[in-house]
């Protein structure tokens, strides 16, 4: 059986759980041995990254590397389009999530951990998220963007969207969601792998935000 090293709060771990569930794969989940960043965990996973997957002799970290491995090792149901240009667009969406939208969200975490921040700091951070959501809306309008099947490129987004709502709600700094992104989000929520993850993750996110912001 597949083993997933993961933690409750990590959205990259949530991304990988959505992938594994959508593939219908059984997996066992464990927290990192000795805690995140521990030497004991790095003995198993040299990068110390979460998530990490163990499949037989293979120990693999990084959610993108894991996703591509799973797609190749377990091709059914497919989570990449057939057409080359659409496949490239699925990868683009995934990288956009990991390297653009998620870092914009991550900029809000220190503000929450500090129990709040100045109006300027909050505005700057939420403007960053809003700008990325507007870019995502335009990317979704691209006729080559895959929108008729859940792909590897979609798995990271649902939990990131939920984190944005939880944090911006807690900071009382509402985000303007582009209509196209809202529609995309609603479509993602029709997949059981997504709803199962959100049901578990939502109270954890909300609890973390409330523990800092009240
Ligand atoms: N690009 C990585 C990012 C994952 C990531 O940032 N994971 C965090 C937890 S959310 C982590 O492993 N932090 C500990 C570390 O980097 O040593 C991926 O997609 O897996």
Ligand 1 probe mutation, 47, 50, 59, 63, most atoms within 8 A of CB: 50
Query: For ligand 1, is residue 64 a contact (CB within 6 Å)?
Result: yes
Tokens of 209: 């935000």
pLDDT, one tens digit per residue, over 156-186 is 999 999 999 999 999 999 899 999 999 999 9
| Mean pLDDT for the stretch of residues 50-73 | 98
101 neighbors 133 (Cβ within 8 angstroms): yes
Residue 126: pLDDT over 90: yes
Kindly report the protein residue whose alpha carbon is nearest to atom 15 of ligand 1.
49
Euclidean distance between CA atoms 112 and 167, whole angstroms? 7
Domain 2-73 has what CATH class?
alpha beta
Is 90 exceeded by the pLDDT of residue 106? yes
SS3 3: strand
Cα of 36 vs centre of ligand 1, distance in Å, is 10
Level-2 CATH architecture, domain 84-213 = Up-down Bundle (1.20)
What does the pLDDT read at residue 119?
A: 96
Going from N- to C-terminal start, the domains of the chain cover 2-73, 84-213
Q: What is the mean pLDDT of the chain?
A: 97
Contacts of 82 (CB under 8 A, 6+ apart): none
Is the peptide bond prior to 83 cis by the omega test (within 30 degrees of 0)? no
Measured in Å, residue 132 CA sits from the centre of ligand 1 at 20
Mean pLDDT of 12-39: 97
User: What angle, rounded to 10 degrees, do the helices at 84-96 and 119-141 form?
Assistant: 170
Q: How many CB atoms lie within 10 A of CB 205?
A: 21
Q: Ligand 1 pocket test: pick from 49, 51, 153 the residue with the most ligand atoms within 8 Å of its Cβ.
A: 49
CA of 83 to the centre of ligand 1 (A): 30
pTM of the model: 0.97
**% of the chain beyond a pLDDT of 70:** 100
Distance separating alpha carbons of residues 189 and 86, to the nearest angstrom: 22
* Predicted local confidence at residue 174, as pLDDT: 87
Confidence at residue 214, expressed as pLDDT on a 0 to 100 scale: 84
120 band by pLDDT with thresholds 50, 70 and 90: very high
């Amino acid at each position: 059986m597949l083993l997933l090293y993961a933690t409750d709060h990590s959205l990259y771990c949530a991304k990988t759980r959505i992938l594994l569930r959508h593939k219908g794969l059984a997996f066992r989940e464990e927290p990192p041995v000795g805690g995140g960043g521990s030497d004991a965990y790095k003995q198993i996973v040299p990068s110390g990254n979460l998530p990490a997957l163990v499949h037989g002799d293979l120990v693999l970290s990084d959610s993108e590397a894991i996703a591509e491995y799973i797609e190749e090792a377990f091709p059914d149901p497919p989570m990449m389009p057939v057409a080359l240009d659409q496949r490239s667009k699925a990868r683009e969406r995934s990288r956009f999530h990991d390297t653009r939208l998620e870092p914009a969200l991550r900029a809000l975490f220190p503000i929450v951990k500090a129990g709040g921040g100045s109006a300027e700091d909050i505005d700057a951070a939420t403007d960053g998220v809003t700008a990325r959501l507007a870019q995502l809306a335009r990317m979704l309008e691209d006729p080559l963007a895959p929108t008729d099947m859940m792909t590897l490129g979609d798995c990271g987004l649902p939990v990131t969207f939920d984190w944005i709502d939880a944090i911006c709600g807690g900071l009382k700094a509402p985000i303007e969601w582009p209509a196209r992104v809202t529609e995309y989000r609603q479509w993602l929520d029709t997949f059981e792998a997504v709803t199962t993850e959100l049901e578990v993750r939502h109270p954890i996110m909300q609890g973390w935000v409330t523990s800092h912001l009240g």
